[in-house]
Structure 1
């Protein structure tokens, strides 16, 4: 797979000729609204023929497998497809192996280097005993390079039919799906969530589900609600019993606590509460995780940070999700949502307090559109990466890329003369985040949030990792 950044004068036709693919393949993989409208600086994913395939309308998994000489089961397994019917136009399938025809002058070392595999893998895949005996025209099975296995979580803030369809399409890429959220009531009960459709779609993709529990009140995190629970052991027991009941009745496999804006004086109360939860749920095989604010140091001041004890959470729970996004928040100045330099600063501290294999790095699936010059009190509009591209096309503006933040951005002037600044995510910025996961040896990645179309991301994730599946 290639990430190609559009230069002046390039078209899908010229790119198709360059990479040996069809215009339809590029358009489908990137879900282009109009294949004839590209902008300078736009990043596209382009598959590698013979190693990857872009699903077309009407394709069936068995037909694709037969066309490329791959068993249907091997193709399904490699792409984490639980149901062969759950393939969709535009998704890129990765081949577990490809067929290579030996050319004059070839040797196994050269072939192995070309495909990123070892000579021993080629010997084993082809039952060869002598690596020096190759004949021109001989067909070799070339196994795909091994991808690291990580855990992948995705939050979904909606439970409607379109969300169900999205989980059906994307569930193969997740280890966990986390419907957001069940709020704690004053009496320790949980608010209801119409999550049945999401849970069924997740199960169809062998995706585990996490019950997300929050201190949400009237649409925002509430410090007093958290305090009421964390300072009352009796209420905690009631809450844990209700959590356990919801987990059992809905089939959740774990619980994710997203308590935010906790009073600093409740830091130890939160730790004690988590120990109580783990003591009751872990013996039942139910995982416990927490979402943590992105701290750069232990004593970082602020209501968002002070009660989140990285070291204690790293000891108590099964894993943590670091919310490494929202630097470019809706009420703040224009900025990258998840600048890579800030993510590194958080991780540099986090790995000193939490085992690396317990850390899931947060990543945004959205961007923001600010009016500029920015004024205090203005709120940016949240947009999907696809919407960002459509804005750049509509206003005929070039997309720039910040090397410092590893994020794309652009400016435009709307019909009223108002200037705008847009920051979002693209294939390049997500590849940078995948590289960080490898560099730091983390457990995996957690996305906020589904509902923002971003087809390139799933191709980039598959290029780098295989999501762990336990179901």
Structure 2
């Protein structure tokens, strides 16, 4: 049922240095090599997740510096060979920006993704972007431009303020992304703590109805047994 693990072990600072222990708690655990070995034994792909938030301006500062962007791209590419892909999870862009400022935020992020994609794809690895939903409060993501660059986009269609996540808003998020990005490049992100065994199947149904590449669940370790049972009956790896 699971065919890929997104391993959230990395972050970046404002200077573009790659961190395995970050201020947000994302860190690479001791014995991480054994996780990769186990994934290989079970034929699970692994993705190198680079997670950064912009609450303190970390991403904005990084994207404003050519030296920091180059350092970040070099560091990510050097580490990426341990995995079967890279997953860039830059959160919080465009929350307060408007007009020209918002356009600059979107363009700066798109340019960074272009630089990273060029390097990552040159070594034969796919690039996934984990993005806030287009109907969220975070408007700093140009779905159309990013969809042309990335191999896959995970839509974080959650944190709308009520649980389970409203079906109408999840559907709206998918439809908005679907207009700009081919459905075979889109993955529906589902936050397990917000769902029940019944409601998660409704979200899976949305992914199927719109022909998306699949679902991504946040996160392993939070999925109760009855939810696994429901997913097993509805989800096929690689479909």
Q: 2:148 matched to which residue of 1?
A: 315
Residue 348 of structure 1, CA deviation:
1.6
**1:99-148 deviation digits (Å, cap 9, x = unpaired):** xxxxxxxxxxxxxxxxxxxxxxxxxxxxxxxxxxxxxxxxxxxxxxxxxx
Alpha-carbon RMSD across the aligned residues, in angstroms, is 1.9
Residue 436 in structure 1 maps to residue 206 in structure 2? yes
- Is residue 446 of structure 1 aligned with residue 222 of structure 2? no
Counterpart-to-counterpart distance in 2, 1:211 and 1:186: 19
Aligned to 1:341: 168
Match of 1:228 among 61, 78, 88: 61
Q: Give the TM-score, by structure 1 length.
A: 0.45
Listed as ranges, the gaps of 5+ residues in structure 2 are 21-27, 95-101
The structure with the greater share of residues assigned to helix is 2
Q: Relative to structure 1, is the Cα distance of residues 437 and 453 closer, same or farther in structure 2, using a 3 angstrom cutoff?
A: closer
Q: Residues of 2 paired with 1:252 and 1:184: CA distance?
A: 18
Count of paired positions: 222
Is the radius of gyration larger for structure 1 or structure 2?
Answer: 1
- 2:230 aligns with 460
2:71 to 238, 252, 273: 238
1:356-400 residue CA offsets vs partner (Å, 9 max, x unmatched) = 001100112214xxxxxxxxxxxxxxxxxxxxxxxxxxxxxxxxx
1:256 matched to 2:83? The reply is no
Structure 1 Cα separation of the partners of residues 181 and 201 of structure 2? 24
Q: State which drifts further: 314-323 or 228-237.
A: 228-237
Please report how far the alpha carbon of residue 283 of structure 1 lies from its aligned counterpart in structure 2 after TM superposition. Answer: 2.1
Q: Find the counterpart in structure 2 of residue 174 from structure 1.
A: 2
Maintained 8 Å contact 2:208/2:214: no
Does 1:275 pair with 2:114?
yes
Q: Indicate conservation of the 8 Å contact 1:223/1:261, yes or no.
A: no
How big is the shift at 1:275?
0.8
Alignment of 1:13-412 (within 5 A): 173-192=1-20, 193-194=28-29, 195-216=32-53, 221-248=54-81, 251-263=82-94, 264=102, 265-296=104-135, 302=137, 305-328=138-161, 335-367=162-194
**Contact in 1 for aligned 2:47/2:87 (Cα 8 Å):** yes
Instruction: Please say if residues 255 and 286 of structure 1, whose CA atoms lie closer than 8 Å, have aligned partners that are also in contact.
Output: yes
Structure 1 residue 223: deviation in Å? 5.0
CA separation of 1:174/1:235 partners in 2, compared to 1, >3 Å: closer, same or farther?
Answer: same
